[in-house]
């Protein structure tokens, strides 16, 4: 090409595309989340000790010594967050750190290539930009994981009152707690999938021989939702003291429905404040253009004709 700047720009774009394609190829080759229900059922019932797929084994053997930190506290914290997001920490932890590494490398490469194209930055400034890009790329999966955790907790909280109502109906109909949980899981499967999945895991653990109290505590630990922690404590106390489960669930359900109504009222009260900036920057200018625009154009034509 005759233009040197255009040639350099095209070369940078080709290199950036190659880096992105290589990163996607690594993710596709070594990634792939396992079916979480199948994974946990296999792990609880201990039917297959070699359940990990070839890709996960290769991923752990190749990348784990380099990308997974050695601190047990950090691994425990990330594993807990992965559980709250609905992933199995055993198979998702290496993939999580692999995504962090790939994202940091790709963003750093793109920033460096874009900076070299300008030819105006010093080496110190270039190193500073590369270090900042590495930090940003390393933090992006954390932000995505936090968004997934918030979305899943919100989904569980929204479906929790319906699950309590169904549990009360099943308990008053004469079903035991285990049978009631199984029926509620079947009913909520199409509407509240996350909550139905967690309740289904409780049923699987109980059928596998885990104590009901321990299974309920595992439910609280997996979800990280405070309301479910309160329900687990309530059911554990009912099992310990032999009180009526239906009465306790009815009282707790009424309290939780009041909380849901209060959250809805709070969200409705915040809505006018949240609508100020969208109306100011998007709605009002459009109204002014539509309403005043023709008059302004007519005035311009009239003044230009004088």
Measured distance between the N- and C-terminal CA atoms of the chain, rounded to whole angstroms: 53
In the structure encoding, which two tokens stand for residue 35, read together? 């079916």
Task: Decide: helix, strand or coil at residue 68.
Answer: coil
Tell whether 275 is covered by a domain. no
| Residue length of the chain | 306
Tell whether 279 is covered by a domain. no
Q: Is the pLDDT of residue 122 over 50?
A: yes
pLDDT band at 47 (very low <50, low <70, confident <90, very high): very low
Is the pTM above the cut of 0.85? Answer: no
Tell whether 108 is covered by a domain. yes
Tens of pLDDT, residues 88-105: 877 788 888 888 888 888
Q: Please give the tally of structural domains in the chain.
A: 2
- The secondary structure of residue 70, as a DSSP letter, is S
Tell me the average pLDDT of the chain.
76
Tell whether 39 is covered by a domain. yes
Question: Which of 120, 135, 163 lies at the terminal end of a domain, its last residue?
Answer: 120
Asked if 160 and 264 sit in the same domain, the reply is yes
Give the model's pLDDT for residue 23.
66
Give the model's pLDDT for residue 53.
42
Tens of pLDDT, residues 128-157: 877 888 888 888 888 998 998 998 888 888
Asked if 207 and 108 sit in the same domain, the reply is no
User: What is the distance between the alpha carbons of residues 67 and 94, in angstroms, rounded to a whole number?
Assistant: 8
CA distances to 92, 97, 206, 207, 222 from 45, in Å: 20, 28, 10, 9, 18
Asked if 56 and 164 sit in the same domain, the reply is no
Tell whether 260 is covered by a domain. yes
Asked if 261 and 168 sit in the same domain, the reply is yes
Asked if 165 and 260 sit in the same domain, the reply is yes
- Contact, 232 vs 219, CB < 8 A? yes
Asked if 116 and 194 sit in the same domain, the reply is no
Tell whether 45 is covered by a domain. yes
Question: Which of 120, 144, 175 lies at the terminal end of a domain, its last residue?
Answer: 120
Tell whether 166 is covered by a domain. yes
In which domain, by residue range, is 114 found? 4-120
Tens of pLDDT, residues 234-287: 877 777 777 777 777 788 778 877 887 888 888 888 888 888 888 888 888 888
Tell whether 301 is covered by a domain. no
């Amino acid at each position: 090409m005759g233009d040197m700047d255009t040639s350099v720009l095209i070369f940078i774009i080709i290199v950036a595309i190659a880096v992105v394609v290589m990163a996607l190829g690594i993710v596709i080759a070594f990634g792939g989340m396992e079916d979480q229900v199948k994974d946990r059922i296999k792990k609880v019932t201990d039917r297959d000790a070699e359940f990990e797929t070839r890709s996960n084994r290769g991923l752990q053997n190749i990348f784990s010594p380099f990308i997974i930190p050695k601190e047990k506290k950090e691994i425990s914290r990330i594993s807990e967050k992965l559980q709250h997001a609905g992933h199995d920490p055993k198979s998702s932890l290496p993939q999580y750190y692999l995504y962090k590494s790939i994202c940091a490398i790709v963003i750093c490469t793109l920033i460096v290539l874009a900076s070299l194209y300008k030819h105006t930055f010093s080496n110190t400034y270039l190193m500073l930009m590369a270090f900042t890009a590495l930090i940003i790329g390393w933090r992006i999966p954390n932000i995505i994981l936090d968004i997934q955790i918030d979305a899943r907790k919100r989904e569980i909280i929204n479906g929790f009152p319906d699950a309590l109502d169904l549990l009360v109906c099943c308990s008053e109909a004469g079903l035991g707690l285990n049978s009631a949980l199984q029926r509620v899981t079947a009913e909520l499967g199409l509407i509240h999938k996350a909550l139905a999945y967690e309740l289904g895991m409780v049923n699987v653990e109980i059928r596998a021989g885990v104590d009901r109290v321990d299974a309920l505590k595992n439910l609280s630990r997996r979800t990280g939702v405070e309301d479910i922690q309160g329900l687990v404590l309530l059911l554990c106390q009912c099992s310990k003291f032999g009180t009526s489960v239906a009465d306790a669930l009815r009282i707790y359900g009424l309290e939780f429905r009041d909380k849901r109504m209060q959250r809805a009222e709070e969200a409705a009260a915040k809505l006018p404040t949240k609508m100020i900036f969208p109306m100011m920057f998007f709605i009002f200018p459009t109204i002014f253009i539509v309403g005043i625009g023709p008059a302004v154009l007519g005035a311009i034509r009239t003044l230009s004709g004088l």
